[in-house]
Amino acid sequence: MAKKPPDRDRIVYSEFGNSEEVFERSVPDLPPNQQNLRVQVSRKGRGGKTVTVISGFQSAPETLTALAKNLKAQCGTGGVAKESTIEIQGDHAQKLLQLLTGLGYKAKISGG
């Protein structure tokens, strides 16, 4: 006798309405000249590896991913776009500052 497959659509417990409703935070997609960015070199929590972190973005994730891809190509290294930051492997603070200001962003080097 074959077992009946479990019913995956069955709700066991739901405290707040329909579980299929997903609310996304609206991210204001500001133009580059209205964004204040911070470029910082960091090694904390990365096993001693140096990473340049650019924070303060107020743009859509797609825009951030495309910018990260462009910056990684310009620096010739790897990196990642996370939430409202871009991390580029290595110490590229000066180069990234020049690239970002060339693209119209207001950027400053932050930290030591």
Q: 32-109 adopts what CATH topology? A: Translation Initiation Factor Eif1 (3.30.780)
User: What DSSP letter does each residue of 30-67 carry, written as one string?
Assistant: --GGG-EEEEEEE-TTTTT--EEEEE---S-HHHHHHH
For residue range 15-72, what is the model confidence (pLDDT) as tens digits? 666 555 555 556 578 888 899 999 999 998 888 899 999 999 999 999 999 999 999 9
For residue range 70-92, what is the model confidence (pLDDT) as tens digits? 999 999 999 999 989 999 999 99
Residue 38: CB partners within 8 Å, gap ≥ 6? Answer: 54, 55, 56, 107, 108, 109, 110
pTM higher than the cut 0.85 = no
